[in-house]
Amino acid sequence: MTTPLRLGTRRSPLATAQSQLVADALSVAADRPVELVFVTTAGDTSTDSLRQIGGTGVFVSALRDAVVSGQVDLAVHSLKDLPTAAAAGLVLAALPVRDDPRDALVARDGLTLQTLPAGARVGTGSPRRAAQLAAIRPDLEVVDIRGNVETRLAFVTDGVLDGVVLAHAGLRRLGRAGSVTEVIDPEVMLPAPGQGALAVETADSVESADSALMTALRSIDDPATRAAVTAERAVLSALEAGCSAPVGALAVVDEPGFHTPELTVRAFVGSADGRHAQRLSITAPLADAEAAGRQLAAKLLDAGAAAFLGEPAL
- Domain 103-183 annotated CATH 3.40.190.10: yes
Q: Does the annotation mark 128 as catalytic?
A: yes
Q: List the catalytic residue out of 73, 81, 99, 162.
A: 81
Under DSSP, is residue 193 helix (H, G, I), strand (E, B) or coil? coil
Q: Alpha-carbon distance 111 to 179, whole Å?
A: 11
pLDDT of residue 308: 80
Same fold yes or no, 5-96+197-221 and 103-183: yes
Q: List the catalytic residue out of 10, 80, 98, 266.
A: 80
pLDDT of residue 243: 60
Q: Does the annotation mark 146 as catalytic?
A: yes
Considering the chain, what is the average pLDDT of its residues? 90
pLDDT of residue 314: 43
pLDDT of residue 259: 74
Q: List the catalytic residue out of 102, 128, 176, 233.
A: 128
pLDDT of residue 64: 94
Half-sphere exposure of 227 (CA within 13 A, CB side): 20
CATH topology of domain 227-309: Double Stranded RNA Binding Domain (3.30.160)
Amino acid at 65: D
pLDDT of residue 245: 74
Q: List the catalytic residue out of 98, 102, 152, 173.
A: 152
Q: List the catalytic residue out of 51, 146, 172, 294.
A: 146
pLDDT of residue 53: 42
DSSP label at 33? -
In sequence order, what are the residues at sequence separation of 6 or more whose Cβ sits closer than 8 angstroms to the Cβ of residue 297? 234, 235, 236, 237, 238, 239, 267
Q: Does the annotation mark 48 as catalytic?
A: no
pLDDT of residue 265: 98
- Tell me the CATH number of domain 5-96+197-221, given options 3.40.50.300, 3.40.190.10, 3.90.79.10, 3.20.20.70: 3.40.190.10
**How many Å separate Cα 249 from the centre of its chain?**
10
DSSP label at 190? P
Q: Does the annotation mark 299 as catalytic?
A: no
Q: Does the annotation mark 80 as catalytic?
A: yes
Q: Does the annotation mark 102 as catalytic?
A: no
Give me the residue spans of the domains in the chain.
5-96+197-221, 103-183, 227-309
pLDDT of residue 126: 93
Backbone angles phi, psi at 286, to 5 degrees: -55, -35
Residues 37-82: tens digit of each pLDDT: 999 865 555 454 445 444 556 679 999 999 999 999 999 999 999 9
Low-confidence ranges of the chain (pLDDT < 50): 46, 48-50, 52-54, 312-314
